[in-house]
């Protein structure tokens, strides 16, 4: 068995949010200038970056302007108005209480069996829930961008979905040192270097734990400064209410080992698998079943020039001889 490839150099960076620069009022967007830059030769080396650990206080609110889910727009007796939830942590009882005690033209009740809200218009005029422009739809049990709902005097409507107060599902650690190997369904190429599960209640510490898949980012350039952002799943910066957090990042410098890639290629060819030698990564192209010819019709199509093909075969034959000896 081949020996495992060991890093040439390795570095560990401990980050305390209280020690570094920030942008704006939130400490979830920080800048770190490395006193000792991590340098490599990009032609022969590459950096593997990984978030090793994290301790993040659950000090953010589930309903707030930072999460962008605290505004209900409505029209009362023809006048367009806003109802803003104060930034804080809510359970369903507090949610209902705030709406019924505020300047809101509906009386709101909660059914604990269906987990839905009912909005009763107890005024003598027509009111409209302008859900198409509201940000609190999901909290109240309506879909994002739902159509406006007109409620006549002394009539009521019930939310189509259940109340959603688990508004921050996970914390995304994003960095300018990410690579184009990372994708997301939200924006294609992503700057995310790690997703941390929110698996505790408010007031506790969120740890990067064994259930969070560690994500490696491969870089081919020096690292002199790092920009980090902590966001929710909707790319909103997390408002930790000025409570500090800690992260630990590891950087491992590996050689770009051509011989290992060649041995992998050779082993694959000896198993009878047809591959394109120009594609040396671990991602294989998707081929629809309709385009795969029957086994007896398959053939290896060599698109290389004869002299190029002969040179590659000589290299592979030399490697096979070395392995056998």
Q: Tell me, what's the pLDDT at 276?
A: 44
Mean pLDDT of the chain: 81
Confidence of residue 126 (pLDDT cuts 50, 70, 90): very high
**Angle, nearest 10°, between helix axes 306-324 and 258-270?**
90
Cα separation, 148 vs 159, in Å, equals 12
Taking Cα atoms as reference points, which of 6, 9, 3, 4 lies closest to residue 250? 9
DSSP label of 4: P
The average pLDDT across 192-217 equals: 86
Q: Give the whole-angstrom CA distance, residue 189 versus residue 182.
A: 6
pLDDT of residue 318: 60
pLDDT at 6: 84
Q: What is the pLDDT of residues 142-156, one digit of tens each?
A: 999 899 999 999 999
- Partner residues linked to 218 by β-bridges: 48
Strand, coil or helix: 113: coil
Instruction: Using the Cα atoms of residue 181, residue 187, residue 193 and residue 195 in order, give the sign of their dihedral.
Output: negative
Model pLDDT for residues 60-72, shown as the tens digit of each residue: 999 999 999 999 9
Low-confidence winner among 26-35, 143-152, 188-197, 221-230 (lowest mean pLDDT): 188-197
Does pLDDT of 292 surpass 70? Answer: no
**pLDDT value at 308 more than 60:** no
pLDDT value of position 216: 77
Q: How confident is the model at residue 179 (pLDDT cuts 50, 70, 90)?
A: low
β-pairing verdict for 79-84 and 107-111? unpaired
The alpha-helical segments, DSSP class H, found in the chain are 92-101, 137-140, 258-270, 306-324
Top-confidence residue, 173 or 305: 173
Which of 83-92, 195-204, 208-217 is predicted with the least confidence, judged by mean pLDDT?
208-217
**pLDDT confidence of residue 133:** 94
Q: What is the DSSP string of 306-322?
A: HHHHHHHHHHHHHHHHH
- Do 254 and 48 contact (CB within 8 A), yes or no? yes
- Least confident range from 136-140, 257-261, 290-294, 320-324: namely 290-294
pLDDT grade, residue 182 (50/70/90)? low
The pLDDT score that the predictor gives to residue 215 is: 72
Taking residue 156's Cβ as centre, other Cβ atoms within 10 Å add up to 15
Give me the sign of the Cα torsion angle 302, 305, 311, 315.
negative
Residue 29 has pLDDT above 60, yes or no: yes
Mean of pLDDT values over 175-180 = 73
Task: Compute the distance between CA of residue 319 and CA of residue 302 in angstroms, rounded to an integer.
Answer: 21
Residue 11 neighbours by CB under 8 Å, 6+ apart:
38, 250, 251, 252
Each residue's pLDDT tens digit, 231-287: 999 999 999 999 999 999 999 999 986 554 445 445 544 555 444 433 333 333 333
Can you tell me the distance from the alpha carbon of 127 to that of 96, in angstroms, rounded to the nearest whole number?
Answer: 18
Enter the tokens of residue 262: 């060649």
Give the angle 182-184-188 at the CA atoms, nearest 5°.
85
From 60, 61, 77, select the one nearest 151 (Cα to Cα).
77
Q: How far apart are CA 320 and CA 315, in angstroms?
A: 9
Distance of CA 28 to the CA centre of its chain: 15
Domain boundaries, the chain: 9-60+169-255, 71-158, 258-324
pLDDT of 298 reads 37
Distances (CA, A) of 299 to 236, 277, 295: 52, 16, 9
Return the closest-CA partner of residue 138 out of 165, 111, 116, 156. Answer: 165
Checking if the pLDDT of 38 tops 60, the result is yes
Strand locations in 63-115 (E): 71-76, 79-84, 107-111
Would you say domain 9-60+169-255 falls under CATH 2.60.120.1100? yes
Residues facing residue 29 across a β-bridge:
229
Q: Is the pLDDT of residue 190 over 70?
A: no
pLDDT class for 184, splitting at 50, 70, 90? Answer: low
Cα–Cα–Cα angle for 283, 260, 218, rounded to 5 degrees: 50
Q: Which carries the bigger pLDDT value, residue 211 or residue 37?
A: 37
């Amino acid at each position: 068995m081949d020996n495992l490839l060991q890093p040439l150099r390795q570095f560990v960076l401990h980050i305390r949010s209280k020690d570094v620069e920030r942008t704006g009022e939130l400490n979830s967007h920080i800048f770190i200038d490395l006193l000792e830059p991590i340098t490599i030769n990009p032609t022969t080396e590459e950096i593997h970056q990984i978030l090793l650990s994290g301790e993040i206080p659950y000090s953010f609110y589930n309903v707030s302007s930072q999460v962008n889910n605290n505004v209900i727009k409505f029209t009362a007796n023809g006048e367009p108005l806003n109802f803003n939830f104060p930034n804080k942590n809510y359970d369903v009882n507090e949610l209902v209480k705030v709406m019924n005690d505020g300047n809101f033209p509906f009386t709101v009740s909660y059914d604990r069996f269906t987990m839905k809200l009912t909005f009763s218009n107890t005024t003598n005029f027509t009111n409209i829930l302008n859900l198409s422009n509201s940000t609190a739809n999901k909290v109240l049990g309506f879909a994002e961008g739902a159509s406006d709902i007109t409620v006549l005097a002394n009539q009521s409507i019930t939310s189509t979905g259940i109340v959603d107060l688990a508004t921050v599902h996970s914390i995304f650690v994003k960095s300018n040192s990410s690579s184009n190997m990372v994708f997301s369904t939200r924006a294609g190429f992503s700057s995310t270097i790690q997703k941390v599960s929110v698996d505790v209640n408010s007031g506790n510490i969120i740890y990067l734990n064994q259930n969070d898949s560690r994500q490696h980012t491969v870089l081919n350039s020096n690292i002199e400064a790092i920009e980090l952002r902590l966001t929710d799943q909707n790319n909103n910066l997390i408002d930790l209410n000025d409570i500090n957090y800690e992260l630990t990042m590891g950087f491992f410098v590996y050689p770009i080992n051509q011989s290992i890639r060649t041995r992998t290629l050779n082993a694959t060819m000896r198993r009878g698998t047809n591959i394109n030698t120009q594609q040396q990564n671990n991602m294989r192209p998707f081929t629809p079943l309709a385009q795969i010819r029957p086994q007896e019709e398959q053939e290896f199509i060599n698109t290389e020039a004869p002299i190029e093909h002969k040179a590659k075969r000589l290299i592979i034959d030399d490697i096979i001889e070395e392995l056998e000896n």
